[in-house]
Amino acid sequence: MKIALVSPYDYAYASGVNIHIQSLERQLNKMGHQVKVIAPSSAKIDGTDDKFIRIGRPVPVPAGGTICRVTVSLRLANRIKEVLAREKFDIIHLHEPFVPMLCSAVLRFSDSLNIGTFHAFEGKPGYNLGWPFGRILLWRRSHKLAGKIAVSEPAREYASKYVPGHYDIIPNGIDMERFSSDVSPIDEYCDGKLNILFVGRLEQQKGLGYLLKAYKQVKREISNSRLIVVGPGTRLRPGYERQVLRDGLSDVVFVGGKSQEELPRYYKTADVFCSPATGLESFGIVLLEAMALGKPIVATDIEGYASVLTHGREGLMVPPRDVDQLAGALIRFMKDEKLRREMGQRGLLTARNYSWERVAHRITDYYQKIMDEAGETRRQHRSEAASVLV
């Protein structure tokens, strides 16, 4: 099959959707399909000259407590038409198909079989802008989707409020080769201290502020502990650093954003992984990454995380924004090496169920099902037309 994977987000920026698309593209190509990625980009994407088609320049747009880097240009039509006419894709797979402007515009001009994957739980633009005209446009474009995928039940529930119909739930995947326990840890943090790891954008919804408050309690109880903070973000980072200084916390390390190649080493270095997000997560990809390295997890009990993590099996779940319970769960793990090891091993078994090899096969099976249904519909239409002529 010749397949286009379309992202509305800046492809030079490692968002969850873009990492999903990059991993899916690699796996589909391994399976023998011809795959190209279409997305806006703020920079040249190295090593992808024959696989990446840039359409549009992204700008930062605040949405739902985060920043979406999307193109808002109204002058994409000619470039989109030219690309679609030249490439003649069998399948156009749009990720967040109604996030402006690229995905929505590609859907408008596509004559291929269109499939949408819905990633978001809440807060992303594209569903209720410009009421009632935006809702009418959404209704018209949604009829061009031959198939709909949601990455989790929370994502399905959110999307179906705006785009009714049947969704197949196919989760995000994890690259088990990259996130492998065979990687080496970061040497400078292998000094006998117990490492808590946070991975995520430095934004309020990721809950780092609550983790810093909880770590204050942890540090009093476990003096040989360290908190390693991995994640991009410049707007809120000074405030978090001031919080560390104000509370007199030691052994808090901000290392900034890390590439997908570097990230597994940080998980390997951790003794406990913590994700204290306050909500708006449709899926727990960072939880799977930690599980793939055999690390126990402390996470908030939100819908997107509960679809991946079972409390008491791969980790411990606590209510969002509950600093005391967050600290208590971290302290429990840090005092019990056997518990860390047992839950880490269970997490590894769970992560294997989400390998990209398995997920990509589910997606291609879905492509084939939609293609077969479309072919049957065309045959029925031809038969009906022939009967009318007779």
Q: CATH number of the domain at 90, please.
A: 3.40.50.2000
Which pLDDT score is estimated for 13? 87
Does residue 327 lie in a domain region?
yes
Domain of residue 58: give its range. 2-173+355-387
Token pair belonging to 338? 């056997």
Which residues 6+ apart lie within 8 Å of 46 measured at CB? none
DSSP type of residue 311: B
Residue 291 is assigned to a structural domain of this protein = yes
Closest listed residue to residue 277, CA positions, set 348, 205, 209, 337: 205
User: Do residue 305 and residue 291 come from a single domain?
Assistant: yes
Same domain for 260 and 307?
yes
Same domain, yes or no, for 165 and 56?
yes
- In this prediction, residue 360 carries a pLDDT of 98
**Residues in the chain with pLDDT < 50?**
129-133
Q: Quick one: pLDDT at residue 68?
A: 84
Cβ contact 117:94 at 8 Å: yes
Domain assignment of residue 342, yes or no: yes
Whether residue 299 lies inside any domain: the answer is: yes
| Statement to judge: residues 17 and 155 lie in one domain | yes
Residues 53 and 89 in one domain: yes
DSSP string, 12-25: TS--HHHHHHHHHH
**Do 234 and 271 have their domain in common?**
yes
Domain presence at residue 143: yes
Phi and psi, residue 308, nearest 5°: -115, -40
Same domain, 140 and 229: no
- 196 and 107 share one domain: no
Same domain assignment for residues 324 and 223: yes
- The bridge status of strand 66-70 relative to strand 59-63 is antiparallel
SS3 state at 221: helix
Same domain, 233 and 214: yes
178 found inside a domain: no
Residue 310: inside a domain, yes or no? yes
140 and 263 share a domain?
no
Each residue's pLDDT tens digit, 273-320: 999 999 888 899 999 999 999 999 999 999 999 999 999 999 999 999
- Number of structural domains the chain divides into: 2
Whether 182 maps to a domain, the answer reads: no
Both 276 and 381 in a single domain?
no
